[in-house]
Amino acid sequence: MNVCDVLIKQLADAGVRHVFGVPGDSINSFTDAIRRQDKIRFIHVNHEETGAFAASAQAKLTGTLGVCVGTSGPGGIHLLNGLYDAKCDHAPVLAITGQVETRRLGSDYQQEIDLCRLFDDVAIYNQMIVNPEQMPYVGERAIHAALEGRGVAHLNLPLDISTQKVPHPKAWKIPFQLRRGGIPDAATVHVAANLINRKYKIAILAGIGCYGAEDKVFALAEMLGAPIIHALRAKELFPESHPYSIGGIGNLGAKSSVKVLGACDLLLLIGTDFPYDDFLPKGIPTVQIDISAAQIGKRHTVDVGLTGDTGNVLDALIPFLRVKKSCGFLKFAQAESRQWQTEIQKQTMPTRGMIKPQQLAHLAGVAAPDDTIFVCDTGEVTAWAARHLPIRQGQRFTVSGLLASMAFGLPAAIGAKFAYPDRHIVALVGDGGFSMLMTDFATAVRYRLPMTIIVFNNRKLGMIQIEQESRGMPDYQTENYNPDFAEFAKLCGGDGLSISNPEELPGALAEAYNSPVPFVLNVQIDPQDIPVPPKVTVKQIIYYGVARIKEMLDARK
Ligand SMILES: Cc1ncc(C[n+]2csc(CCOP(=O)(O)OP(=O)(O)O)c2C)c(N)n1
Ligand SMILES: [Mg+2]
């Protein structure tokens, strides 16, 4: 077995079934080793960034290792954005890159880029293999580091080393068991319980770290009469249809959350890395639960930190909590939530004869089959999905959370479809985000991956227009020059439909969701609709007015 054979065997043993990338140059022996076995498939994408995003999305959805590959130099460089997506969202991904022959190292040879140096910031394990005897040891370390550290590992394989025989392929076997389910010590649990037992207006901010423990979080909420606010990626866990779930947080979130966080007397952060601390209440006791001690107090001053798997921590904590008899705070939160839901439902009514993005997001969710996995791109489209896409129990949702990268949607749909071939996949994307990696729609066709890509087509970088105008700048360079995305889909061998009339929407969604081939539903939406944040400052309103005046004056010139 050569270095690549050993590595691939290790990946297969770790449960990896797909490696995404572009073959060629210094990774030919790696792809050849994949060809010679049958556990792992090589998925040939058109752009390495697609491969990295697909691996990241798989890792986020499954919790298992995602793998992507790029050749020395340009191929490796293209992986970076998807790798940062994995790093930021704590997803285990292994990147394998090629390198020039070791005798060429340091000579500025063609495609010689110091990828270990380049990946230094993104990777928690980052190693060039310069001697076949490093295997299988470094292969195992890389896999374990990514899984245990929930981040990116990188192995850089010089061409000459990749084909060399590994003298002792079985010599190393690191006894490895993922550290799952640590529990905090009893004394800390008591301190947390005492604090929580003294408060009657408790708000829970829950993140994706609650995955698998949603029922326990709901049970906790019921005991404490505490409303649950969710961070964006936890939208799949805490649907607003549940009486304790009162909406999202942040600029894309709900007004009810702002009100509740403004009135609570204790904040309980559970499995969340929500970054916008402006939305978190200051000066009240805060208890945080997180699987990683390094996350405790990262975003907010915390009085008690409980480190461990959410489910285990709640099992340890709940027996010490008193059931709250008064539910005034919960009732207040639920009333605020109902009011917000009524407000946003009104926004889904078509006006001016055009399709509203709110209406599109709403109906896209209502019409989606029960097994749907939604993936979402970055832009105003994220706000429409966050607020208006109804997610039912059993459906899934993911997004480029902390990195908030455009172009994630289509690659994530590809990664999701490979991981869950029997489920429906629906990507909600902006026209700008889709344009970035739309070449890989052909990859979905090539691998026969039925999926629906819904383009929220406002012919512009809508989110950037809002950013500019809310800072007093006139709208500048935000228009997109788009081809007809539905025709593009057909040219790729898939199917597509362009619509602009609200009445066409239900029929078009049904056609898209039932398509046996990848489908682009290109929806011309009303570009005037903008997602208004739940907290708007007077300064922003004034700036917005100034920007509109500047735009009018510019138009007259
Ligand atoms: C890779 C990348 N480049 C730039 C940005 C900054 N950015 C955030 S949203 C956005 C506009 C997105 O436009 P579009 O995809 O059309 O979605 P819309 O906002 O119109 O719904 C831009 C440029 C980003 N988040 N990611
Ligand atoms: Mg757009």
Write the pLDDT tens digit of every residue in 205-264.
999 999 999 999 999 999 999 999 999 999 999 998 899 999 999 999 999 999 999 999
Which numbered atom of ligand 1 lies nearest the CA of 407?
1
Closest listed residue to residue 368, CA positions, set 346, 391, 393, 348:
391
Beta bridge partners of 133: none
Q: Which of the listed CATH numbers 3.40.50.970, 3.40.50.620, 3.50.50.60, 3.30.56.10 matches domain 347-550? A: 3.40.50.970
Alpha carbon 401 to chain centroid distance? 5
Region 527-540: mean pLDDT is 86
CA of 384 to the centre of ligand 1 (A): 14
Across 176-195, b (16+ Cβ under 10 Å) vs e yields eeeeeeebbeeebbeebbeb
Cα–Cα distance, 470 to 545 (Å, whole number): 8
Q: CATH homologous superfamily for 3-162?
A: Thiamin diphosphate (ThDP)-binding fold, Pyr/PP domains (3.40.50.970)
Q: Which helix (H) or strand (E) holds 95?
A: strand 93-99
Q: Which helix (H) or strand (E) holds 387?
A: helix 380-388
Residue 41 predicted with pLDDT over 90: yes
Question: Between these two residues, 353 and 483, which has the higher pLDDT value?
Answer: 483
Give whole-number Cα distances, 403 to 145, 301, 485, 546, in Å: 21, 23, 26, 30
Region 518-546: mean pLDDT is 89
CA of 7 to the centre of ligand 1 (A): 37
Among the bound ligands, the one closest to the CA of 380: 1
**Cβ of residue 495 lying under 6 Å from some atom of ligand 1:** no
Q: How do residues 135-188 score in pLDDT, each as one tens digit? A: 999 999 999 999 999 999 999 999 999 999 999 988 666 666 666 667 889 999
pLDDT band at 297 (very low <50, low <70, confident <90, very high): very high
**Cβ of residue 82 lying under 6 Å from some atom of ligand 1:** no
Closest listed residue to residue 87, CA positions, set 46, 145, 42:
145
Domains 3-162 and 186-339 share a fold: yes
Q: How do residues 425-461 score in pLDDT, each as one tens digit? A: 999 999 999 999 999 999 999 999 999 999 999 999 9
**What does the angle CA 442 – CA 448 – CA 450 come to, to the nearest 5 degrees?**
95
**Cβ of residue 530 lying under 6 Å from some atom of ligand 1:** no
pLDDT for the residue numbered 240? 87
35 φ/ψ sector (left φ>0, alpha ψ -120 to 50, else beta): alpha
Model's pTM, two decimal places?
A: 0.96
The arrangement of secondary structure in 186-339, i.e. its CATH architecture, is: 3-Layer(aba) Sandwich (3.40)
pLDDT for the residue numbered 32? 97
pLDDT for the residue numbered 480? 97
pLDDT band at 323 (very low <50, low <70, confident <90, very high): very high
Question: Percent of the chain scored above 70 by pLDDT?
Answer: 98
Q: How do residues 490-521 score in pLDDT, each as one tens digit? A: 999 999 999 999 999 999 999 999 999 999 99
Cα–Cα distance, 144 to 125 (Å, whole number): 9
Which distant-in-sequence residues (6+ apart) come within 8 Å of 215 by Cβ? none
pLDDT for the residue numbered 178? 64
Q: Where are the domains of the chain?
A: 3-162, 186-339, 347-550
Which numbered atom of ligand 1 lies nearest the CA of 456?
21
Lowest mean pLDDT among 190-194, 266-270, 298-302: 298-302
